[in-house]
Amino acid sequence: MTDNILTVEDLKVDFHTEEGTVHALDGISFEVGYDEVLGVIGESGCGKSVTVLSVMGLLQSPPADIVDGTIEYKGTDLLSISDTELNEIRGDQISMVYQDPMTSLNPVLTIGHQVMEPLLRHTNMSKAAARQKGIDMLESCGLADADRLMDEYPHELSGGMRQRVVIAMALVTEPDLLIADEPTTALDVTIQAQIMELLKSLQEEFGMSVVFISHDLGVISEISDRIAVMYAGRVVESATMRNIFTNPLHPYTRKLSESIPSLDSTVDRLPTIEGQVPSLYNPPTGCRFASRCPEHLGEECEMVDPRLKRIEENAAHKVACHLYTDVSEASPPWDVEEGDAQAVTNKATQGDKYE
């Protein structure tokens, strides 16, 4: 058993289009622990959806082309198993909630049909048992009168109710990993808060792992244990939620955290980050944030691609930025070989003696 339920390493995805090749993901790496909620954040077009669609095996090829990388789910590389094996896992152990509830619901089938479908496909459950399980799950998702709802059609429901149905469909098989791609964006603020609350309590109840995508750091902070910040097809920082808030390192993350309105703020418009995300047809050589970065160091940032560095000895705080040095490259007193450590200790002890 590995420590993580999901480990994505160096994932590269291109799209071949008439205008050329879009390098949508350029070496994405991240991991999700058991029972952990990973928030993935970044501006529109930075590759959040492509990342999770790769995990789900749902990228259309062509135009998509997974050029490199591995996606390990419980130690199995999802990129190297057969479609049949992937189908077994998808919708049963791993399920996904999409941004727009209407795209995940079939307008001509009843809610009951759709909620029971994953159970009938992935388990040996009888229809009656699947129906009961569906009703229970709709109720867990905060839908009253679930028995009657089972015989209704999607258009008879409000947007918030439909999104609850979609969540119930994703959770009905009690998956080990739930992927939620901006599940509340289409909803108004009050309903959005209720759905977040619901997801949080269901995560605790079922003890599942979650990958939660959003372009809003405020929304994601309510549910995440850890956060991965994406920019232009890369992960630029990853750390615990607490560290992202108290000690954001990447200038892009700092900009994102400045753009969360504080509660007493009188400004109701989010300050946006100046400048444009670079084109992914022909991405810049160095740091992709360089052209917008207030802490730009000059040529190094323009020319040298910053790799993801681990900047703290024990914590898993990683950042891809030339402002920081990897712990393994730095030579602070604690960063010594075991033999040397002994020497340091001896020296210290001797020092004590002579005092």
Ligand X SMILES: Nc1ncnc2c1ncn2[C@@H]1O[C@H](COP(=O)(O)OP(=O)(O)OP(=O)(O)O)[C@@H](O)[C@H]1O
By the criterion CB under 6 A, which residues form the site for ligand X?
15, 17, 22, 24, 42, 44-50, 63, 215, 280
Q: How far is the CB of 283 from ligand X (least distance, A)?
A: 10
Q: How far is the CB of 341 from ligand X (least distance, A)?
A: 44
Q: Which is nearer to ligand X, 164 or 234 (CB)?
A: 234
Residue 207's binding partner out of ligand X, Ni ion, none, with CB under 5 to 8 Å set by partner kind: none
Nearest to 229 by CA among 211, 250, 246, 210: 250
Nearest to 250 by CA among 226, 230, 221: 230
Q: How far is the CB of 56 from ligand X (least distance, A)?
A: 13
Separation of first and last alpha carbons in the chain? 51
Q: How far is the CB of 231 from ligand X (least distance, A)?
A: 10
Residue 22's binding partner out of ligand X, Ni ion, none, with CB under 5 to 8 Å set by partner kind: ligand X
Q: How far is the CB of 99 from ligand X (least distance, A)?
A: 7
Q: Which is nearer to ligand X, 166 or 202 (CB)?
A: 166
Q: How far is the CB of 47 from Ni ion (least distance, A)?
A: 8
Q: How many CB atoms lie within 10 A of CB 342?
A: 11
Tokens of 136: 């229970």
Nearest to 120 by CA among 69, 168, 47, 173: 173
Residue 118's binding partner out of ligand X, Ni ion, none, with CB under 5 to 8 Å set by partner kind: none
Nearest to 213 by CA among 103, 86, 49: 49
What is the distance between the alpha carbons of residues 46 and 222, in angstroms, rounded to a whole number? 22
Nearest to 151 by CA among 198, 110, 185: 110
Q: Which is nearer to ligand X, 39 or 142 (CB)?
A: 39
Q: How far is the CB of 224 from ligand X (least distance, A)?
A: 17
Q: Which is nearer to ligand X, 150 or 232 (CB)?
A: 232
Q: Which is nearer to ligand X, 24 or 170 (CB)?
A: 24
**Distances 34 to 14, 29, 196, 246, 336 between C-alpha atoms, Å:** 30, 17, 20, 24, 32
Residue 45's binding partner out of ligand X, Ni ion, none, with CB under 5 to 8 Å set by partner kind: ligand X
Q: Which is nearer to Ni ion, 46 or 130 (CB)?
A: 46
Region of 47 (left: φ > 0; alpha: ψ -120 to 50; beta: rest) is left
Cβ density class 235-260: b for 16+ within 10 Å, e for less: bbbbbbbebbeeebbbbbbebbbeee
Q: Which is nearer to Ni ion, 234 or 317 (CB)?
A: 234
Residue 277's binding partner out of ligand X, Ni ion, none, with CB under 5 to 8 Å set by partner kind: none
Residue 15's binding partner out of ligand X, Ni ion, none, with CB under 5 to 8 Å set by partner kind: ligand X
Residue 82's binding partner out of Ni ion, ligand X, none, with CB under 5 to 8 Å set by partner kind: none
Prior bond of 251 cis (ω within 30°): no
